[in-house]
Amino acid sequence: MPKTDSSSNSKFIFVTGGVMSGLGKGVTAASVGRLLSNAGFTITAVKIDPYLNVDAGTMNPYQHGEVYVLKDGAEVDLDLGNYERFLGIDMTSDHNITTGKIYQHVIERERTGDYLGKTVQIIPHITDDIKRRIRNVAKGHDICIVEVGGTVGDIESMPFLESLRQLSHEEPENCVLFIHVTLIPHSKNEEPKTKPTQHSVKELRSIGIQPNLIVGRSTIPLDDDVREKIALFCDVPTEAVFSNPDLDDIYHLPMSLEEESLDEYVMEQLNLLDRAVPLPNRDTTWRESVTAPKPNKVNIALVGKYGLEDAYISVYEALKHAGFPDGIEVNTFWVHSETLDDGDLSPLSSIKPDGIVIPGGFGSRGTPGKINAIRYARETGIPYLGLCLGFQLAVVEYARNILNLKDAHSSEIHPETSHPVIDLLPNQHDIDELGGTMRLGELETHIDKNSLAHSLYGDNHCLERHRHRYEVNPDYIDSLEEAGLKFTGKSGPRMEILEIPGHPYFFGTQFHPEFTSRPTHPSPPFLGLVKAALSHSTPNNKNPKT
């Protein structure tokens, strides 16, 4: 088996991208990690984001997608969610490096006199700090995969690429591998074009980095002529050019790359073949989970305000994971919450949902529509899952329509409400800064026995990740519970889980269970929703699974 007792034995795989952002560098890197993990190696990962923000916490989901939360409370880029899902590991703030983090740390050191009067410069001070962070994460692992966000040629990424160039020279032979992911577009007559790849690699080589392996992103697999042309002009062996075509499911990418023997080539270059688990004995749990037949189907309505799938990527993936164990294909339909604001629910009802999910979010836009959707789910018996804001608005809807507190609302959305059933956390009143100041990270929730929550988690407690400033107002808890809304999960004085006994499935969580869902270990609240949705849809399923 691979050795992990010495940090000096760590290998590094650096993944860069060219031509355009959003190519799928993160998924490619995570898939390589999945294959190497299947071969018996311990894998960790670092995501480099060249932006000046210290973290992703204050970024607009429209521009940057979902803000993903790690167990230590770090707010990070959504790509770290892909790494956790593909690799089955828990990451921390140390696994995400941003320009803001680096410069903030170096300047703080300069202010305290750590550099002893030296002129502080990009080289060596910034680059040394980048290398230090990468090596610290790599300690104790066989392989550390480092993805550089953005594209080669971006001015923001230059210090990071220079750091990787230096590190590649400082590490022993066969310890560093560069993978370059680039676009192979097709002309109108379907001819693949390699010129963008040639220019991208030329740009990379101009700063002293020669890729060892090139992965071509394209709509269809690369043929031999294209591979040979890329190899010739980019100075790599033909066998080092791999294809990453469009697939129906991103979770099939590891198998696609495995069919091209990319993992074997990587291990050969890093001198790891003799330490790998023999091919017939490698872990197949991933393949079995993501390729299992799905004879049943359910439709889930995801009601949100951001018209961008990446803004809810962990929710989409958690729903998909929840269908794997029971052979259920989960079709998720996004419904713009603002289209429901006036009470016309036809945009929602027209898709005939078997379940409804309302995810987390901030701000007032689309809130009336979300509340209308919650009432629709509660009154019609459609399975419902509310996450963070979806949990809070379920409390608001119940207070309005069952307790008859028509003005009930969250004080975040309607500060003047006479019934703030959702109110600011006590320790949040005097906070001026927005970044990193919410209730964040993994926290324990105690679960009542004889509850739906207990049957889902199979335990009297759970550890889940949080990201919120507001909570259920304690002044209204007794009235809500007397009226039939039960809080079955608590963290000290805070309400964490709600459910309605007698409803087919009405479940809400103040935390974000989507962040801990994995293809091989689906999240319990999502599993419960999808199973309830299947029961709801059974008359429409020709072959319902028992």
Banded model confidence at residue 443, pLDDT cuts 50, 70, 90? very high
Residues 250 and 179 both lie in one domain: yes
> pLDDT (tens digit, 9 = 90+) per residue, 461-477?
999 999 998 999 999 99
Where are the extended beta strands (E) located within 392-537? 409-410, 420-424, 439-447, 461-468, 470-472, 486-491, 494-499, 506-509
Q: In what order do the strands lie in the sheet with 11-17?
A: 96-98, 43-49, 143-148, 11-17, 176-183, 213-218, 241-245
Number of Cβ within 10 Å of residue 228's Cβ equals 13
Residues 262 and 388 both lie in one domain: no
> pLDDT (tens digit, 9 = 90+) per residue, 153-172?
899 999 999 999 999 999 99
Torsion angles phi and psi, residue 119, rounded to 5 = -75, 120
Query: Which residues, 6+ apart, have CB-to-CB distance to 341 below 8 Å?
Result: 366, 368, 369, 372
Who wins on pLDDT, 544 or 395? 395
Clarify whether 536 is annotated catalytic.
no
User: Does 218 fall in a domain?
Assistant: yes
Partners of 213 in the β-ladder: 179
> pLDDT (tens digit, 9 = 90+) per residue, 95-128?
999 999 999 999 999 999 998 888 999 999 999 9
Closest alpha carbon to 150 in 106, 99, 105, 185 = 99
CA distance 529 to 332: 13
| Residue of 75, 147, 162, 514 marked active site | 514
Which CATH number covers residue 393?
Answer: 3.40.50.880
User: Does 481 fall in a domain?
Assistant: yes
Residues 344 and 219 both lie in one domain: no
AA identity, residue 140: G
Residues 169 and 306 both lie in one domain: no
User: Does 465 fall in a domain?
Assistant: yes
User: Does 545 fall in a domain?
Assistant: no
Closest alpha carbon to 428 in 473, 390, 470 = 470
In the chain, the percentage of residues whose pLDDT exceeds 70 is 94
Q: What is the mean pLDDT of residues 67-77?
A: 93
Partners of 422 in the β-ladder: 410, 472
Query: Of 288, 317, 333, which residue is a domain's last?
Result: 288
Residues 248 and 334 both lie in one domain: no
Residues 108 and 187 both lie in one domain: yes
Query: Which residues, 6+ apart, have CB-to-CB distance to 176 below 8 Å?
Result: 11, 12, 13, 14, 167, 168
| Residue of 125, 141, 409, 512 marked active site | 512
Instruction: Give the pLDDT score at 431.
Output: 55
Clarify whether 481 is annotated catalytic.
no
pLDDT of 68 higher than 50: yes
> pLDDT (tens digit, 9 = 90+) per residue, 288-345?
999 999 999 999 999 998 877 788 999 999 999 999 999 999 999 999 999 999 999 9
Residues 412 and 490 both lie in one domain: yes
Residues 178 and 265 both lie in one domain: yes
Instruction: Give the pLDDT score at 54.
Output: 83
Clarify whether 462 is annotated catalytic.
no
Which CATH number covers residue 77?
Answer: 3.40.50.300
Residues 283 and 297 both lie in one domain: no
AA identity, residue 281: N
Query: Of 246, 265, 288, which residue is a domain's last?
Result: 288
User: Does 546 fall in a domain?
Assistant: no
**Mean pLDDT over all residues of the chain?**
91
Partners of 358 in the β-ladder: 386
User: Does 392 fall in a domain?
Assistant: yes
User: Does 1 fall in a domain?
Assistant: no
Banded model confidence at residue 544, pLDDT cuts 50, 70, 90? very low
Compute the residue count for the chain. 546
> pLDDT (tens digit, 9 = 90+) per residue, 135-152?
999 999 999 999 999 899
| Residue of 388, 462, 466, 468 marked active site | 388
User: Does 2 fall in a domain?
Assistant: no
Residues 237 and 306 both lie in one domain: no
pLDDT of 2 higher than 50: no
What pTM was estimated for this model as a whole? 0.91
Q: Structurally, how many domains does the chain consist of?
A: 2
Number of Cβ within 10 Å of residue 498's Cβ equals 25
131, 166 Cβ separation under 8 angstroms = yes
Query: Of 269, 288, 307, which residue is a domain's last?
Result: 288
Q: What is the mean pLDDT of residues 438-455?
A: 95
Instruction: Give the pLDDT score at 539.
Output: 60
Residues 345 and 219 both lie in one domain: no
Burial class (CB in 10 A: 0-12, 13-18, 19+), 521: middle
For tokens 């087919």, what's the residue?
A: 504
Residue 524 is part of which domain span?
A: 293-427+435-540
Residues 68 and 23 both lie in one domain: yes
